[in-house]
């Protein structure tokens, strides 16, 4: 029996699993959509299991697809470690990485810890801030790689995953439709803040700010205290909070993209660029761990 799991097919599988889109996966990988479909079919043939359910509107992982996520990551991680070991070429140098506040309670620290263990020669410097702030620092040459939300769907950046924004609050909180909405928000240039205010204004819904902070933990505490509601990514709803009931009549907030963006600092060393590429590959390979169910770190 020949080897069943082609690394190329596994990378394609992970790209589809993270974006839940064959089109976006093809764009990420730089191949045709038909190639993505072919890779998935061949991997499903190798496993003898269906990994995705598909219709004209959505793509979803099956139970076997969820199980394959861990196996695919392990196989690809082992392959990359072996290649780095025997090639004798490992990224080294200083890498300034920026991550948005959204990832404070996710398993990003696990991904970074694994990266540090596999690339001890990289001096990793982490900055956590609002997405808008990170975009500005990247443009100014202050960061080498950023993982953050983007304001425009077709804007720059390599898509890690796409999710829906929703209104969340303490389980018993449901704003009165006849009164101003009590808002818990990041300060400018927060992308979710801008989206929330635009949605309320476009629906002529009054609002007032009850809590502002650059700290996600502070906003969560305010929401748990039932001070108000906040706009947040559906796949990253913190423990103790829940979507606001539809009876509150709050406007929809649409989708949001989380992307990786590389800096273009003049004079950046080859080692920095290689380190940024290696970390980006680690994040893309483990992107599902950033928003799927599991113990937060």
pLDDT tens by residue, 178-193 = 999 999 999 988 889 9
Averaged confidence pLDDT in the chain:
86
Q: Evaluate if residue 1 carries a pLDDT over 60.
A: no
Residue 297: which pLDDT band, with cuts at 50, 70 and 90? very low
pLDDT tens by residue, 51-71 = 999 887 788 899 999 889 888
Beta carbons of 157 and 227 less than 8 angstroms apart: no
- Locate CATH 3.40.190.10 in the chain: 90-159+258-290, 163-256
Residue range 105-113: average pLDDT?
A: 83
How many of the other CB atoms lie within 10 Å of CB of 170? 18
Q: Evaluate if residue 115 carries a pLDDT over 50.
A: yes
pLDDT tens by residue, 197-252 = 999 999 999 999 999 998 999 999 999 999 999 999 988 888 899 999 988 899 99
Residue range 172-182: average pLDDT?
A: 92
Beta carbons of 39 and 49 less than 8 angstroms apart: no
CATH class of 7-85: mainly alpha
Parallel/antiparallel/unpaired status of strands 122-129 and 93-100: parallel
Tell me which DSSP letter residue 1 carries. Answer: -
- CATH number attached to the domain at 163-256: 3.40.190.10
Q: Which tops the pLDDT comparison, 35 or 274?
A: 35
Angle made by CA atoms 224, 215, 173, in degrees to the nearest 5: 20
The phi and psi torsions of 118 (rounded to 5 degrees) equal -85, -20
Please tell me the distance from the alpha carbon of residue 212 to that of residue 208, in angstroms, as a whole number.
11
DSSP string, 80-102: HHHHHHHH-----EEEEEEEEGG
Q: Which tops the pLDDT comparison, 226 or 271?
A: 226
Please tell me the distance from the alpha carbon of residue 36 to that of residue 8, in angstroms, as a whole number.
10
98: left (phi over 0), alpha (psi -120 to 50) or beta: beta
Beta carbons of 60 and 52 less than 8 angstroms apart: yes
Q: Is 207 exposed, middle or buried (0-12, 13-18, 19+ CB in 10 A)?
A: buried
**What superfamily in CATH does domain 90-159+258-290 come from?**
Periplasmic binding protein-like II (3.40.190.10)
Q: Evaluate if residue 37 carries a pLDDT over 60.
A: yes
């Amino acid at each position: 029996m020949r080897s069943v799991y082609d690394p190329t097919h596994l990378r394609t599988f992970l790209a589809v699993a993270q974006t839940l889109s064959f089109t976006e996966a093809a764009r990420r990988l730089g191949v045709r959509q038909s190639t993505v479909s072919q890779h998935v079919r061949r991997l499903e043939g190798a496993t003898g299991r269906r990994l995705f359910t598909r219709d004209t509107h959505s793509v979803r992982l099956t139970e076997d697809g969820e199980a394959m996520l861990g196996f695919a990551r392990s196989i690809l991680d082992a392959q990359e470690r072996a290649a780095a070991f025997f090639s004798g070429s490992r990224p080294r140098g200083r890498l300034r990485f920026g991550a948005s506040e959204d990832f404070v309670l996710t398993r990003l620290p696990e991904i970074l810890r694994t990266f540090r263990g596999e690339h001890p020669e990289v001096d990793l410097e982490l900055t956590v801030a609002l997405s808008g702030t990170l975009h500005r620092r990247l443009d100014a040459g202050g960061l080498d790689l950023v993982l953050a939300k983007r304001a425009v769907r077709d804007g720059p950046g390599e898509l890690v995953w796409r999710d829906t924004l929703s209104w969340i609050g303490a389980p018993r909180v449901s704003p009165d439709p006849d009164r101003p909405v009590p808002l818990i928000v990041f300060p400018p240039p927060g992308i979710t803040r801008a989206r929330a205010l635009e949605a309320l204004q476009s629906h002529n819904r009054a609002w007032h700010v009850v809590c502002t902070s650059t700290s996600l933990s502070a906003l969560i505490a305010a929401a748990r205290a039932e001070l108000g509601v906040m706009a947040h990514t559906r796949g990253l709803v913190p423990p103790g909070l829940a979507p606001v009931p539809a009876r509150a009549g709050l406007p929809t907030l649409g989708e949001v993209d989380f992307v990786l963006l590389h800096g273009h600092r003049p004079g950046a060393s080859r080692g920095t660029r290689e380190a940024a590429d290696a970390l980006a590959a680690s994040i893309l390979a483990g992107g599902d761990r950033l928003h799927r169910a599991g113990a937060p770190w």
